[in-house]
Chains A and B, each alone.
Chain A
């Protein structure tokens, strides 16, 4: 007997908030709008906590069916929600970090036009994300999957009067669609071959299938297609290009959607489908390779970026690459662990970056910052915690998760020293670009002109804006610390970034093991029997060694950043000059956007313009219609003269017609 947890309430609560704010928000004051948004989002968080409290007494996985959705023959899909250790962790991360970012947004977005619109979208995003996380079948998951894409589109293009924001939104949506295509085909394959998309059923059927070690088969195909979907949503090569552009959105959105939650949906999906991946080693290898390449590739781009948010965007892509490495070596728990710590510190980094941008009046270029640590001490200290966390210094959160991933990349049966080496090098790069950001922003002399102009804070005129006076006037010149409501989430996330990793990957793995190892036990035992386990002593010895190397990598990144950006600030210029063409290539992000534009976008636009528009639409469809209309007009123009209004001409026509009829009758009669 399992208690009813009303799981469906968790996603629906934010939806209610979104509906109220969306329909009536225009008439509410800012206080009311934020109270509604925070209230419903907070209620979801409280429910998640309540469920976590009852968690130990539940029979897992806990499935609650709300209503029947589709029934066609034997195929059946329900609105049902699925709770196990994995979804619990995602639930807590999404609602917890989401709630904190909601709080932060109130301060950040207070002076913008479309206040209610922002919170409506934000709550809508929460609804879809929670649907994704709690879904008990792939189809409902896909609904959430598409919905977060929609929310992402709406929020990236929040300042829709700005052309770059509007097109960034479209880019995000379209690139995601390519990934979703793969996901959808994977769904079709499941329906065709398993007759179901329910997690429980699919995993039971897949669980009885042998691993496809000999050659690629159905499971490999499904795995690879799921990977395509995950690569789109989680911004992996080759579909990562939308994420840096998505930074056009408001910074809390970047924190919530493009760092902490939505982009990790792909990792969650891969971990959720681990039963499939465990039996498709080739698909796993592809996941690992893509993850490794993405981690390295994005990190190198991140090194040369000057926009503070772009650095964080590439860093996000790189960290997602780490999570995919973990999934690719079948160390899903390490991936999810990194997902969680990453949500803490990357969410914090974005929020702190937003606070920095806020404080210097909308400037995002790090070259125009500097010396801010005295002006905005709270932001500085929280961001420091996050920087150390992401760089992997013990005892911060990032150290534990990243170390777990690197160790698994090395030691897992699917792992390889190549993954590990590239991972460590990426860790070094990560540390370098993060401390570069840190030094450029907070140390040295302030390099910007007096703050006061607003770039990012584009005010959309809103005549109905009758909200209460803003708590602080913006653009009053001078660098100022953010309001308290923005600092509280920073502090909480900073604490989590410091302590979040202390659970330890071992305990985390144990917690998740009922989910992640349930399907593999048979295989794992076989493997264990086939290959004798290495000596425990030796293993822990090498683990310590590897940990030491990765910490060393992080420390050398810090040192190099200090050397280049603090001690000898003219040195980076010289190095860039010496590297010449290579540096140019990296600064231009390897020209990937340009290549995509030339290879995919331009032919598509040209084809659409020349063939579909000018050829088919204008010359065939339009021409047919226009010409027949023109013909009808010309014919009737000629006929018009028959209707002259003169009585005698009518009579003449009648007589002529009668004559023709008579002639015809005579002709037929005499024939």
Chain B
């Protein structure tokens, strides 16, 4: 049996990759994918704990996260298409109207 710490380290690495990608990438699509990466990193730790402690709630949480992520993907992609149509760019640094 693979020890729990392995899963957790992998989960941490995935999450860190997601955060890094979110921070350094300029393309919205890539940023979006980084978010998915973070979510799935967290999911991995949930199922790892669930398997370790034989508790079902971890698995249930993961389903919820996946459902929310799917909804978010639908809305987020819609927004991305709208942004692209009005601005003709996918660079997040050019989409900076959300300020004073």
List, in ascending order, chain A residues with CB within 8 A of B93's CB.
646-648
The minimal Cβ–Cβ distance linking A635 to chain B, given in whole angstroms, is 15
**What does the 1/0 interface line of B9-30 toward A look like (CB < 8 Å)?**
0000000000100111010000
List, in ascending order, chain B residues with CB within 8 A of A651's CB.
19, 22-23
> Which of A323-331, A434-442, A623-631, A637-645 lies at the binding interface?
A637-645
- Tell me if A73 counts as interface (CB < 8 A to partner B): no
List, in ascending order, chain B residues with CB within 8 A of A644's CB.
96, 99
Contact of A640 among B22, B23, B98, B100 (CB under 8 A): B100
Tell me whether B92 and A646 are in contact (CB under 8 A).
Answer: yes
Inter-chain CA distance A645–B100, complex, in Å, is: 8
List, in ascending order, chain B residues with CB within 8 A of A645's CB.
96-99
Contact of B92 among A640, A643, A648, A652 (CB under 8 A): A648
Contact of A646 among B19, B24, B96, B100 (CB under 8 A): B96
Interface residues on A, range: 10 to 19
- Tell me if A576 counts as interface (CB < 8 A to partner B): no
Tell me whether B100 and A643 are in contact (CB under 8 A).
Answer: yes
- Tell me if B48 counts as interface (CB < 8 A to partner A): no
State which residues 617-669 of A face B: CB under 8 Å: 640, 643-648, 651-652, 655
Inter-chain CA distance A648–B97, complex, in Å, is: 13
List, in ascending order, chain A residues with CB within 8 A of B97's CB.
645
Inter-chain CA distance A648–B100, complex, in Å, is: 16
- Tell me if B95 counts as interface (CB < 8 A to partner A): yes
Tell me whether A655 and B23 are in contact (CB under 8 A).
Answer: yes
Tell me whether B22 and A643 are in contact (CB under 8 A).
Answer: no
State which residues 399-425 of A face B: CB under 8 Å: none
Inter-chain CA distance A645–B93, complex, in Å, is: 8
Inter-chain CA distance A12–B98, complex, in Å, is: 69
Inter-chain CA distance A643–B97, complex, in Å, is: 11
- Tell me if B31 counts as interface (CB < 8 A to partner A): yes
Tell me whether A648 and B99 are in contact (CB under 8 A).
Answer: no
**What does the 1/0 interface line of A305-316 toward B look like (CB < 8 Å)?**
000000000000
Inter-chain CA distance A471–B99, complex, in Å, is: 75
The minimal Cβ–Cβ distance linking A152 to chain B, given in whole angstroms, is 59
Which residue of chain A is the closest to B35 with respect to CB atoms? Answer: A651
Question: Contacts A640-B100, A647-B31 hold; do A652 and B95 have CB atoms under 8 A apart?
Answer: no
Inter-chain CA distance A652–B34, complex, in Å, is: 14
List, in ascending order, chain A residues with CB within 8 A of B31's CB.
647-648
Which residue of chain A is the closest to B92 with respect to CB atoms? Answer: A647
Tell me whether A648 and B98 are in contact (CB under 8 A).
Answer: no
Which residue of chain B is the closest to A651 with respect to CB atoms? Answer: B22
List, in ascending order, chain B residues with CB within 8 A of A652's CB.
23
**Can you name 9 A-B residue pairings with CB atoms under 8 Å?**
A643-B99, A643-B100, A647-B92, A648-B22, A648-B24, A648-B26, A648-B31, A648-B93, A652-B23
A645-B97, A647-B95 known; 18 new pairs, CB 8 Å cut-off, are A640-B100, A643-B99, A644-B96, A644-B99, A645-B99, A646-B93, A647-B31, A647-B93, A647-B96, A647-B98, A648-B22, A648-B23, A648-B24, A648-B26, A648-B92, A651-B19, A651-B23, A652-B23
- The interface of chain B, by Cβ under 8 A from chain A, is 19, 22-24, 26, 31, 92-93, 95-100
